[in-house]
Amino acid sequence: LLLKSGNIDQIFIDKCTNNFQQYAQLLQSYPPEIVAERCGITIEQLETCAHYWQQSKHILSLWSMGLNQSSEGTAKVRSLINLHLMTGQIGKPGSGPFSLTGQPNAMGGREAGGLAHLLPGYRSVTNPQHRAEVEQFWGIPEGRISPNIGRTVWDMIIGLEQDQVQFLWIVATNPAVSMPDLKRTKAALLKSPFTVYQEAYYPTETAPYAHILLPATQWSEKTGVMTNSERRVTYCPGFDTPLGEARHDWEIFA
């Protein structure tokens, strides 16, 4: 609706985005009638939302697990971010997509490169310049970092199903509960030739699928930093002593 009415920021689009024409062409396959039906709302409600969006000088979108954690969660979030991009409602005070993530320090994990396609500092694995920067900073030989994207969590499940993943190391998560297709996930976990489960809590639903259990420290026993959504980095000193054989995650990895 915003595209059809011309309520987009073409200057911002040309300066700050890529592939907008392809995206605009894709949108033609989703007229208001189809969108309203799939979303379970009326066309009038959809038009009202578009009207509020185009009339607002500043737009802040806040969302949490209801948008993120579903079988189409990535597509939903991309659609919302694209809406901000095509209208220029991003990167300025009072405007932008604001993800209220469901896990502590989810932002910090991304900043440290904790995703299959990322290096630290939001650098991309597929970008040769980014790889060179990280290799130089780490003091490792040029070309040491692979240009290939790693497996996502769901790619690992598929890999287990197809006997392509021979070793699985699960850290600080509970996939037997948190994955979207639990029946399929549990069946794949049973096929894993060797699984290490590194967790601060026991028992969990995932623990029975592991061949080795490694006790890790929990948040009160760790010292580190956390990044908030408003980009504040907070130092968080541990205030408790680890119990038994529990070790910090970095110590186990080392």
Kindly report the CATH number assigned to the domain that includes residue 37.
3.40.228.10
Over the range 132-160, which residues count as b (16 or more CB within 10 Å of their CB) and which as e?
A: eebbeeeeeeeeebeeeeeeeeeebbebb
Higher pLDDT, 119 or 230: 119
Shared-domain flag, residues 81 and 111: no
Residues spanned by the domain of 125: 104-150
Domain closes at, from 99, 129, 164? 99
pLDDT band for 101, please (50, 70, 90 cuts): confident
Q: Where are the alpha helices (DSSP H) in 99-166?
A: 106-111, 128-138, 153-161
Q: Is residue 182 part of a domain?
A: no
Are residues 115 and 64 both part of a single domain?
no
130 and 78 in a common domain:
no
Answer yes or no: do 71 and 112 share one domain: no
pLDDT, tens digit (0-9, with 9 covering 90-100), for 19-64: 999 999 999 999 999 999 999 999 999 999 999 999 999 999 999 8
Q: What is the mean pLDDT of residues 174-198?
A: 96
121 neighbors 243 (Cβ within 8 angstroms): no
Domain assignment present for 109: yes
Residue with tokens 């024409």: 21
Res 64: pLDDT: 86
- Is residue 68 situated within a structural domain? yes
Same domain, 51 and 118: no
Q: How much is the pTM?
A: 0.72
